[in-house]
Chain A
Amino acid sequence: MGYPHQPHLKETVVLSQYFGDAEARTYDGWVKRGGYQALEKALAMEPAQVIEIVKQSGLRGRGGAGFPAGVKWSFMPKEKKKPHYLCCNADESEPGTFKDREIMRWTPHGLIEGCAIAQYAIQAEVTYIYVRGEFTEPLRIMEGALAEAYRHGVLGPNAMGTGKRLDMYLHRGAGAYICGEETALMSSIEGRRGNPRIRPPFPAAYGVFGMPTTINNVETLASVPHIINRGGAWYKSLSLSHPKSTGTKLFSVCGNVKRPGNYEVTMGFPLGELIDELCGGVPDGRTLKACIPGGSSVPILNREESESCKLDYEGCVEQGTMLGSGGLIVFDDSADMVYQIMRLARFYAHESCAQCTQCREGTAWTVRILQRILAGQGEAKDLDLLLDLSEQMTGKTICVLSDSCAAPVVSGIKKFRGEFEAYINGTRRPRPVLVHA
Chain B
Amino acid sequence: MHETTYEPVFTGDRKKQLDQLLPRFPTKRAALLPALWMVQQARGWISDHAMAEVAEVLGLTPAYVKGVVTFYTMYHQHPVGKHFVQVCTTTPCNLCGAEGVVKAFLEHTGCKELGATSPDGKYTVIEVECLGACGFPTPVMIGDDFIENVTPEGVPELLRKYQ
B90 in contact with A169 (CB, 8 Å)? no
| Interface contacts beyond A172-B34, A175-B72, A193-B68: sample of 17 additional A-B pairs, CB < 8 Å, sorted by A | A95-B130, A97-B134, A133-B74, A169-B24, A173-B33, A174-B37, A174-B72, A174-B75, A191-B33, A191-B58, A192-B29, A260-B134, A261-B135, A329-B91, A347-B130, A351-B129, A435-B99
CB-defined contacts of B91 to chain A, threshold 8 Å: 95-96, 255, 296, 329, 340, 343-344, 347
A340 in contact with B135 (CB, 8 Å)? no
B146 in contact with A136 (CB, 8 Å)? yes
Per-position 1/0 for B52-79, Cβ under 8 A of A = 0000001000000001100111110000
A434 in contact with B99 (CB, 8 Å)? yes
CB-defined contacts of A340 to chain B, threshold 8 Å: 91, 94-95
Instruction: Pick the residue among B27, B75, B132 that contacts A98 (CB under 8 A).
Output: B132
Which 8 A-B residue pairs are closest in the complex by CB-CB distance? A175-B74, A191-B32, A174-B72, A175-B73, A254-B134, A260-B135, A191-B29, A193-B71
Cα A237 to Cα B130 with chains together (Å): 35
CB-defined contacts of A31 to chain B, threshold 8 Å: none
A84 within 8 A of B: no
Contacts A193-B71, A256-B95 given; does A135 touch B134 at CB 8 Å: no
Instruction: Pick the residue among A97, A137, A435 that contacts B146 (CB under 8 A).
Output: A137
Instruction: Pick the residue among B26, B27, B31, B133 that contacts A83 (CB under 8 A).
Output: B26
Chain B residue with the shortest CB-CB distance to A262: B135
Chain B residue with the shortest CB-CB distance to A344: B91
A176 within 8 A of B: yes
B96 in contact with A255 (CB, 8 Å)? yes
B42 within 8 A of A: no
B27 in contact with A191 (CB, 8 Å)? yes
CB-defined contacts of A255 to chain B, threshold 8 Å: 91-92, 95-96, 134
Instruction: Pick the residue among B37, B67, B134 that contacts A172 (CB under 8 A).
Output: B37
A residues contacting B by CB (< 8 A) are 1-2, 83, 92-98, 100-101, 126, 132-137, 167, 169, 171-177, 188-194, 209, 252-256, 260-262, 296, 327, 329, 331, 335, 339-340, 343-344, 347, 350-351, 353, 434-437
CB-defined contacts of B136 to chain A, threshold 8 Å: 2, 98, 260
B132 in contact with A209 (CB, 8 Å)? no
B68 in contact with A1 (CB, 8 Å)? no
CB-defined contacts of A133 to chain B, threshold 8 Å: 37, 72, 74
B107-149 with Cβ < 8 A to chain A: 114, 127-137, 141, 144-146, 148
Cα A20 to Cα B148 with chains together (Å): 16
Supply 9 A–B pairs (Cβ within 8 Å), ascending by A: A1-B135, A134-B128, A173-B74, A191-B31, A191-B58, A209-B26, A254-B96, A343-B94, A347-B129
Shortest distance from the beta carbon of A141 to any chain B beta carbon, whole Å = 12
Shortest distance from the beta carbon of B45 to any chain A beta carbon, whole Å = 13
Cα A253 to Cα B133 with chains together (Å): 10
Chain A residue with the shortest CB-CB distance to B34: A172
Shortest distance from the beta carbon of A13 to any chain B beta carbon, whole Å = 17
CB-defined contacts of B159 to chain A, threshold 8 Å: none
Chain A residue with the shortest CB-CB distance to B132: A92
CB-defined contacts of A135 to chain B, threshold 8 Å: 132, 146
Shortest distance from the beta carbon of B142 to any chain A beta carbon, whole Å = 11
Cα A188 to Cα B91 with chains together (Å): 26
CB-defined contacts of A174 to chain B, threshold 8 Å: 33, 36-37, 72-75
Chain B residue with the shortest CB-CB distance to A83: B26
B residues contacting A by CB (< 8 A) are 24-27, 29-34, 36-37, 58, 67-68, 71-75, 86, 89-92, 94-96, 99, 102-103, 114, 127-137, 141, 144-146, 148
Chain B residue with the shortest CB-CB distance to A353: B71
Chain B residue with the shortest CB-CB distance to A140: B144
CB-defined contacts of B32 to chain A, threshold 8 Å: 191
Cα A137 to Cα B136 with chains together (Å): 15
Contacts A95-B91, A134-B141, A174-B36 given; does A253 touch B135 at CB 8 Å: yes
CB-defined contacts of B146 to chain A, threshold 8 Å: 134-137
Cα A2 to Cα B30 with chains together (Å): 36
CB-defined contacts of A176 to chain B, threshold 8 Å: 71-73
Chain A residue with the shortest CB-CB distance to B28: A191
Cα A288 to Cα B32 with chains together (Å): 47
A98 in contact with B129 (CB, 8 Å)? no
Cα A102 to Cα B145 with chains together (Å): 16
CB-defined contacts of B74 to chain A, threshold 8 Å: 133-134, 173-175
CB-defined contacts of B29 to chain A, threshold 8 Å: 190-192
- Interface centre among B86, B92, B129, by most chain A C-beta atoms within 10 angstroms, is B92
Cα A331 to Cα B95 with chains together (Å): 8
A437 in contact with B127 (CB, 8 Å)? yes
CB-defined contacts of B135 to chain A, threshold 8 Å: 1, 98, 252-254, 260-262
Chain B residue with the shortest CB-CB distance to A437: B127
Cα A192 to Cα B31 with chains together (Å): 10
Shortest distance from the beta carbon of B89 to any chain A beta carbon, whole Å = 6
CB-defined contacts of B92 to chain A, threshold 8 Å: 95-96, 254-255, 329
Contacts A94-B130, A331-B95 given; does A347 touch B68 at CB 8 Å: no
CB-defined contacts of B90 to chain A, threshold 8 Å: 95, 296, 343-344, 347
Chain A residue with the shortest CB-CB distance to B29: A191
CB-defined contacts of A171 to chain B, threshold 8 Å: 33-34
